[in-house]
Structure 1
Amino acid sequence: MHVVVVGGGVIGLSSALYLAREGLQVTLVERNEDIALETSFANGGQLSYNYVAPLAAPSVFANLPRWLLASDSPLRLQPRLDFQQWRWCLAFLRACRASRVERTVSEMLRLSQRSQMLLEQLLQRTPIDFNLRQTGKLIIHRSQASLGAAVRLAELQQQAGSQQRLLTPSQCSDLEPTLSGVVGQLAGGIFTPAEATADCRLFCEGLKRHLDGMANVRFKLGQAVSGFTKMGKRITALKLGNETLEADAFVIASGIASVGLLKPLGISLPLYALRGYSLSVQLADANALPRLSVTDASRKIVYAPLGSTLRIAAMVDMGVRSAEAPKRRIDLLKAQVSELFPALDLRRAQAWAGLRPATALGKPIIDRAPEWENLWLNVGHGALGFTLACASGEMIARRIIQGRPHESDAPFSLAAHR
């Protein structure tokens, strides 16, 4: 059986890996000249297996009016005369209900914890150097209201087997000494010890090296899909410029580009691009790095130590269509970072922006495409693509081989997002 995977980010590579391990012939198609050049290139670097918090939440709903109007907001909306934008926004508002959030968290934790186990198994068989460290994750809160909401979320996650600790401000500083200068501004924190940080791009490069060594895998880089060849309810081939690539099954794992790619087939994916930003700061003094993965809840900024680099990721811009990094947003991010870590020299920080392919519910779509017998979807992971990659790849491979879904797959069906 020959399967074509479209997309050379962490989701496409993971899909190719688990398909190839089952003995299938796999061809991975990527429009860029190399893998991991878009959303997987410089993301937040956090592997959040046990603290899953969807963007849609009651606290976000309460803050939306202020955030959408404030110039320093972590969440900004650029309104457009775009039906898909407003449909997605309405679905997002519905997803902010407490009951919906509780269900989503429970569903996502099962997938993320499976992904953690699979990554451990993968690294036992295939060592990859991608700056993986079990740092633990500390989320700091500046108000009692924010901390109270976080405690309720932690209690929900603990029911699913996660381990978290509530910390006082001084305990936050003891655990992460680089926070000593702002301890007086804190209400407390939530610490999840089993979380990790790692470099997603290096992980992708390691996966590619491993796949290159498998006789049943080949890559077609620098080739964009221009269309499909169809017969009845089956896709028979992809069109790649002047070339036609035939296969028995096709997996679409190309992030936000999947929306336009599938539209000619009558498939309307409930995805929207959320532009996020990051800074990569090289530090000569390792002692200047936070030892932990730190999240500033009020600013929605994450800090992940990656070897000698500190990766700082933040902000969500809705209604944008390009992955550019406007100077005003980068300058704002630098100013907010300097409030928490004033000793950081950000003058040479490498700025980056990427388009996160998000569903309103905050969970991915891993399913067969409607009306097509051999077309599969592995899309919509938002900010958790790195975290969920292994489990998502395993699930799509199992679905293709078995042909029918397992009961546990239902939360990630396309129908679950309608």
Structure 2
Amino acid sequence: MQVAVLGAGIVGLAAAWELSLRGHSVTVIDRAAPGSGASGGNGAQLSYSYVQPLADPSIWAQLPKLLLLRSSPLKLRPQLDPHQWRWGLEFLAACNAETSRNTTAQLLSLAMRSRAGFEAMMATLQPDCDFSATGKLVIYRSQAALDSAARQVELQRELGGAPQRTVSPDECMAIEPALVGVRNEIAGAVHTESECAADCLKLCMALVDALQTRGVQFMLGDTIDGFALRGDSVSAVLTSRGAVDADAFVLSLGSASHTLAQRLGLRLPVYPLKGYSITLAVDETPGAAPSVSVTDSANKVVFARLGKRLRVAGMAELVGPDASIPASRIESLVASTRALFPKCSDFAELNPWTGMRPATPTGLPIVGPLPGTPKNLLFNTGHGALGFTLSFGSAGRIADAINLLA
């Protein structure tokens, strides 16, 4: 089949990779360069085992602090946008134990498939993307938070997740000596030995090269304006270069998927959660910078080692499609880094970045066909902060769905 993949972020490129492997002819269309959206400077963690959704009952107790503190990692700037308000209300409605458990189960299943797909791709392509498999520590500042995390670990164990364990502060220091400065500030951590990290942008570039070698066509710098319909199917996608015909279409435009879906009279519950990152050159003195991925749960900041660099990412802002980078948010990431790893870098170059993570209220991505939409239009969006992690699992599901259309 001829398949048009709309979107050249990691989610779209992974879908193109899987579809190409299965023998389909693929065209990738995007107005921007591959990986230049939410993929470009993301947190770099491949979090296959610890997939707790943001929509969780614990949000209710944290909400006043998260919304009112100036330095809060979660920020809401109300817009004259019904979509934002509706998304926010749906998110709060999802912050309950039953929804969180169901979402966790589905995310774990998708993540396990994604790990298998990612590892197969890595074995075939062997890309230069600063891949590491040094595990991850999620640190907690209070015993209550650690106890809650332990319950999540037990839930994920029951659901078939990879082995994880809670560890003491001393065990944290043994796993990651660079945390020694906060030994007395943490109650403990969740350690997942099997977690990985990689530079998503570098991988996107490697995938583009490999896909072009395989005959995949790229239309970059072209806006996507809508669809031409024939009966109950899409016959073509309308671009600034003209109509592009295909047998099937995959919508992987991240947070922009909502806007394009509106052209079909469809509301996708996908809203941009704005995040930020910095990327630092590390001091390679042993114990100065972390080699294990670290998540500071209280401040919602992640740290991932990428060769001789450290990626620091965090925050979630519901502020609409605002691509500005306020100095205060970058300063906050620097402060969080200095607090945990004061000797990790000279902080001379920060390489600040912002991106719009496409999130659904529950945290579960939308993958596959939707009722009431053209039968040959598949959706592959709404992965939130887990786009990199889930991309190859989603790709497998999309390819399965495409095969059913053939």
| TM-score normalised over the length of structure 2 | 0.96
The runs of 4+ residues in structure 1 deviating greater than 6 Å are none
Report the Cα distance in structure 2 between the residues aligned to 1:85 and 1:204, rounded to whole angstroms: 30
Q: Which residue of 2 aligns with 1:367?
A: 368
Q: Which residue of 1 aligns with 2:9?
A: 9
Structure 1 residues 303-343: Cα deviation after superposition (integer angstroms, max 9, x where no partner): 00000000001111112322221112111221222222222
Q: Which residue of 1 aligns with 2:393?
A: 391
SS at match of 1:256: helix
Post-superposition offset of 1:290 = 0.2
Post-superposition offset of 1:286 = 5.4
CA RMSD in angstroms comes to 1.3
SS at match of 2:87: helix
SS at match of 1:236: strand
For the 8 Å contact 2:79–2:320, the answer to whether it is kept is: no
Q: Which residue of 1 aligns with 2:138?
A: 139
**Counterparts in 2 of 1:315 and 1:247: CA distance versus 1, 3 Å:** same
Post-superposition offset of 1:298 = 0.7
For the 8 Å contact 1:198–1:306, the answer to whether it is kept is: yes
Tell me, which stretches of 5 or more residues in structure 1 are unaligned?
405-418
Pairs aligned (count)? 402
For the 8 Å contact 1:286–1:308, the answer to whether it is kept is: no
Q: Which residue of 2 aligns with 1:377?
A: 379
Report the Cα distance in structure 2 between the residues aligned to 1:333 and 1:243, rounded to whole angstroms: 43
Q: Given residue 153 of structure 1, which amino acid in structure 2 is its aligned partner?
A: Q
Q: Which residue of 2 aligns with 1:188?
A: 188
SS at match of 2:224: coil
Q: Percent identity?
A: 42
Report the Cα distance in structure 1 between the residues aligned to 2:210 and 2:334, rounded to whole angstroms: 37
Structure 1 residues 73-103: Cα deviation after superposition (integer angstroms, max 9, x where no partner): 1111111232111211111112110121111
Deviates more, 1:109-118 or 1:367-376: 367-376
Q: Given residue 365 of structure 1, which amino acid in structure 2 is its aligned partner?
A: I
For the 8 Å contact 2:250–2:379, the answer to whether it is kept is: yes
Structure 1 residues 226-285: Cα deviation after superposition (integer angstroms, max 9, x where no partner): 222222222111222242211111111010111111211111100111001101001252
SS at match of 2:15: helix
For the 8 Å contact 2:222–2:241, the answer to whether it is kept is: no
Q: How does 1:240-255 map to 2 (within 5 A)?
A: 240-255=239-254
Structure 1 residues 93-130: Cα deviation after superposition (integer angstroms, max 9, x where no partner): 12110121111111110110111111112222222121
Post-superposition offset of 1:41 = 0.4
Q: How does 1:104-253 map to 2 (within 5 A)?
A: 104-159=103-158, 160-215=160-215, 217-253=216-252
Post-superposition offset of 1:142 = 0.7
Q: How does 1:249-268 map to 2 (within 5 A)?
A: 249-268=248-267
Report the Cα distance in structure 1 between the residues aligned to 2:55 and 2:285, rounded to whole angstroms: 35
Structure 1 residues 28-53: Cα deviation after superposition (integer angstroms, max 9, x where no partner): 00111x21111110100000011111
Q: Which residue of 2 aligns with 1:411?
A: none
For the 8 Å contact 2:224–2:239, the answer to whether it is kept is: yes
Report the Cα distance in structure 2 between the residues aligned to 1:134 and 1:395, rounded to whole angstroms: 25
Q: Which residue of 1 aligns with 2:282?
A: 283
**Counterparts in 2 of 1:403 and 1:242: CA distance versus 1, 3 Å:** closer
Post-superposition offset of 1:21 = 1.4
Report the Cα distance in structure 2 between the residues aligned to 1:41 and 1:347, rounded to whole angstroms: 21
Deviates more, 1:36-45 or 1:55-64: 55-64
SS at match of 2:352: strand
| TM-score normalised over the length of structure 1 | 0.94
Q: Which residue of 1 aligns with 2:313?
A: 313
